[in-house]
């Protein structure tokens, strides 16, 4: 813990990004304790109220408290952002290490696989999956499992190919260590830092994709709070009630900046190390 605190103290971007993320996650987790309003129950007697001491950010066109929906939407979007990354992150690292370490036909096969998925636009795959499985979280998970691993595989493949010619890999092979041991105990710790940095950036990209899908109506289904849906619902009132769309938009920007700062900070720490 002392080493972690020292690294964060010497890296302002990592410290700032971590504090911003902790604040956002804490507000999302404590949403039921922070607000007593329902994020989904309409209130026809409180439609489009301006910000006040009772409703900090006002209410929407159905009388729902905007601040309550904002923090509950953080729970929804952040949960999907994290869960949708687990399988692609692990799959991409594994395939990237195999392609870079073994080379030859393994590299050719995995490269062909990545090029095939890159040829299809991300949102086209989302629309196809949503048409088959229906809009909602399930479609987002399926889509990102199909294409989310590519960025990790491409980064890790390049690193693994460069490390394959290093003396410490040759020494492990000379000692007769099995390839599985070399991959998991020697190669993985060296490629993992760069993969984690890419993860921070890709999580921000995925968050924007989740919000965009909600805005287009093929993401999280109403009345579940979602930042993209909130931006879309507030758009007709942009001239008079601009904060209905601006507030969830600022939440997306805030989270993206926090993730970018953490990624930059980790890159600085590992670069010095």
Give the start-to-end residue ranges of the domains of the chain.
Answer: 65-272
Q: With 0-12 CB in 10 A as exposed, 13-18 as middle and 19+ as buried, what is 272? A: exposed
Please choose, from the candidates 155, 190, 151, 149, the residue with its C-alpha nearest in 3D space to the C-alpha of residue 169: 190
Please choose, from the candidates 215, 193, 212, 192, the residue with its C-alpha nearest in 3D space to the C-alpha of residue 204: 212
Q: Give residue 134's pLDDT.
A: 67
Q: Give residue 273's pLDDT.
A: 62
User: Do 84 and 141 form a contact (C-beta atoms < 8 A)?
Assistant: yes
Q: Which two tokens stand for residue 197?
A: 């940095």
DSSP 185: I
Q: Which pTM was predicted? A: 0.89
Question: 236: Cβ–Cβ under 8 A, 6 or more apart, which residues?
Answer: 61
Q: With 0-12 CB in 10 A as exposed, 13-18 as middle and 19+ as buried, what is 262? A: buried
To which H or E segment does residue 270 belong?
helix 243-272
The residues of the chain scoring below 70 in pLDDT are: 1, 133-135, 272-273
What is the dotted CATH code of the domain comprising 65-272? Answer: 1.10.3720.10
Q: Give residue 195's pLDDT.
A: 93
Q: Give residue 96's pLDDT.
A: 94
CA within 13 Å, CB half, 126 = 21
Q: What is the DSSP track for 135-151? A: SSHHHHHHHHHHHTTHH
Q: Which two tokens stand for residue 50?
A: 């301006």
137/142 Cα distance (integer angstroms): 9
């Amino acid at each position: 813990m002392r080493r972690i605190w020292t690294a964060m103290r010497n890296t302002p971007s990592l410290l700032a990004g971590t504090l911003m993320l902790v604040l956002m996650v804490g507000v999302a987790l404590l949403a039921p304790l922070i607000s007593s309003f329902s994020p989904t129950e309409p209130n026809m007697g409180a439609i489009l109220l301006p910000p006040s001491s009772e409703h900090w950010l006002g209410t929407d066109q159905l009388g729902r408290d905007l601040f309550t929906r904002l923090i509950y939407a953080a729970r929804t979007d952040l949960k999907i952002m994290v869960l949708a990354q687990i399988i692609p992150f692990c799959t991409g690292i594994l395939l990237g290490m195999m392609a870079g370490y073994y080379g030859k036909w393994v590299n050719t096969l995995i490269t062909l696989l990545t090029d095939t998925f890159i040829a299809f636009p991300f949102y086209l795959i989302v629309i196809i999956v949503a048409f088959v499985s229906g809009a909602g979280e399930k479609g987002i998970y399926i889509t990102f499992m199909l294409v989310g691993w590519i960025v990790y595989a491409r980064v890790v493949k390049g690193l693994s190919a460069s490390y394959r010619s290093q003396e410490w890999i040759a020494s492990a092979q000379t000692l007769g260590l099995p390839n599985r041991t070399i991959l998991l105990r020697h190669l993985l710790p060296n490629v993992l830092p760069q993969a984690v940095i890419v993860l921070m950036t890709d999580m921000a990209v995925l968050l924007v994709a989740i919000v965009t899908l909600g805005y287009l109506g093929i993401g999280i289904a109403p009345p579940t709070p979602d930042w993209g849906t909130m931006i879309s619902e507030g758009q007709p009132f942009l001239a008079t009630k601009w904060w209905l769309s601006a507030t969830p938009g600022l939440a997306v920007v805030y989270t993206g900046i926090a993730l970018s700062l953490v990624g930059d900070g980790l890159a600085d720490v590992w670069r010095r190390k």
